[in-house]
Structure 1
Amino acid sequence: MRTWLKNNRGFLALLLGMGLLRTAVADWNPVPSGSMRPTILEGDVVLVDRLAYDLKLPLTHVVLARLGEPQRGDIVTFDSPRDGTRLIKRLVALPGDQVEVRAGRLLINGTEQAYSAPHEVAEPVAPGVIWPALRAREDLAGHQHAVQFLGGAGHGRDFGPVTLAADHYFMMGDNRDNSEDSRFIGSVPRELLIGRATRTLVSADILGRWSPRFERFVAPLE
């Protein structure tokens, strides 16, 4: 055993370094669900900057130092406050904000966010299942990004108002009628934030034939 360890110490050091890199500095996460469509698609693998907000003790939620402040519009990976599941959503409201959703439209501190004129698309919701959807661009405090609405198929189209506690953040999926987010799991305390997703690394069409989507390789996220 000692001989094997000695002969493979370079490889083991590489594995240890990659593990520390992934748990403390940068991470890459496959996305299995459509809750962030059309920004992030099922089969995307996204790059996550773990140092965007906090330096943490690896493999824990213990914050060693605050490095940056989460902003409205950030795409964030975090552990669900309900059951610990790893999730990826858009941060839409900050500590102290009042959040409300009316007929699917987001209001922050009593002000409805601006939306472009919607256009209709055919949205795949399961293999072989297509649903009509509306897409628009939402101006979230100056951060513009795409959102999607599934009409009568949705849930959570009316919510709140609620006011966020200190160090708590409100997350929503861009696929507003098909996302289990802070409307259902509650606001997310800062210590459960993992990092900010910045771009897709690779992508494959998992609802089709697993063909690669080369146009999404190393593509920045809105």
Structure 2
Amino acid sequence: MHETTAMPRHRRRLAWLRRELLPIAVMLLLLGAARSSFANHYIVPSGSMQDTLMPGDRVVVNMSAYGVRLPFTGVELLDRAHPRAGDVAVFDSPADGTRLIKRIVAAGGDRIEVRDGHVRLNGRELRLGPHDDVERFGGHLARINLDAGGGPDVPALTVPEGMLLVMGDHRGNSFDGRYFGLVRADDVYGKAVAVYFRRGEGFVWQRL
């Protein structure tokens, strides 16, 4: 009788799984880690940030803008810049955990007041003119939308360290920090960088 060298069926199956599926699993794990720690994208669900962001916009999000975190966790490995007024940020709503995208209008230590949808930050009116709907956050200009009014006012307050006040650019049509309160800076996932796809226009590159 000739001695058989054929591998049992179950061992052949395990060998095939290791050879074919393991590389795919590793690749998917690495891609997931990269999305968790470095870059991701976000699909805008509503008009709360019009006209900066439109419903259906696909946005590139820099997940490491404020620090590099251990993949799939909130553990910070490297501290970088801190969220600041004018940034468009992605975070989970303190109200119900829904992932949102809003503009940071004040960070820890900032003195802010909102009246008729217009922001006054650290004693300075941000809109460029008395009849203008463009606000200047440092070197960044943000066009706000007041076609539904300005939404709730915010009496003058100083934002505590480690906290943020976020608002939508569509001031009268945004469920934001004026309703659910301040957001912890550590709970911000990343900074929105640019719109890369817009309905009706296709692929674009509109920096935020």
> Structure 2 length as normaliser, TM-score?
0.85
Q: Contact between 1:62 and 1:191, CA under 8 Å: does it hold in 2?
A: no
Q: What is the CA RMSD across the aligned residues, in angstroms?
A: 1.9
Q: Contact between 1:114 and 1:139, CA under 8 Å: does it hold in 2?
A: yes
Q: Contact between 1:39 and 1:221, CA under 8 Å: does it hold in 2?
A: no
CA shift digits 1:103-160 (9 cap, x unpaired): 2211112322123576xxxxxxxxxxxxxxxx821112342121100245x531x222
Alpha-carbon separation, structure 2, partners of 1:61 and 1:185:
22
Residue 42 of structure 1 aligns with which residue?
Answer: 55
Whether 2:135 is the aligned partner of 1:138: answer yes
Aligned residue pair count: 195
> In percent, how many aligned pairs have the same letter?
36
| DSSP-derived class of the 1:114 partner | coil
Alpha-carbon separation, structure 2, partners of 1:148 and 1:82:
24
Q: Which amino acid aligns with 1:185?
A: F
Residue 155 of structure 1 aligns with which residue?
Answer: 151
State which of 62, 65, 72 in structure 2 corresponds to 1:59. 72
State which of 182, 201, 206 in structure 2 corresponds to 1:213. 201
Alpha-carbon separation, structure 2, partners of 1:190 and 1:141:
19
Q: Which has the larger radius of gyration?
A: 2
Alpha-carbon separation, structure 2, partners of 1:155 and 1:62:
36
Where does the alignment leave 5 or more consecutive residues of structure 2 unmatched? 1-12
Alpha-carbon separation, structure 1, partners of 2:55 and 2:148:
21
**Deviation at 1:61?**
2.4
Q: Which has the higher strand share?
A: 1
Residue 75 of structure 1 aligns with which residue?
Answer: 88
> Structure 1 length as normaliser, TM-score?
0.80
Relative to structure 2, which stretch is displaced further, 166-175 or 103-112? 103-112
Alpha-carbon separation, structure 1, partners of 2:98 and 2:178:
16
**Deviation at 1:69?**
2.2
Whether 2:12 is the aligned partner of 1:12: answer no
Q: Contact between 2:168 and 2:174, CA under 8 Å: does it hold in 1?
A: yes
Residue 167 of structure 1 aligns with which residue?
Answer: 162
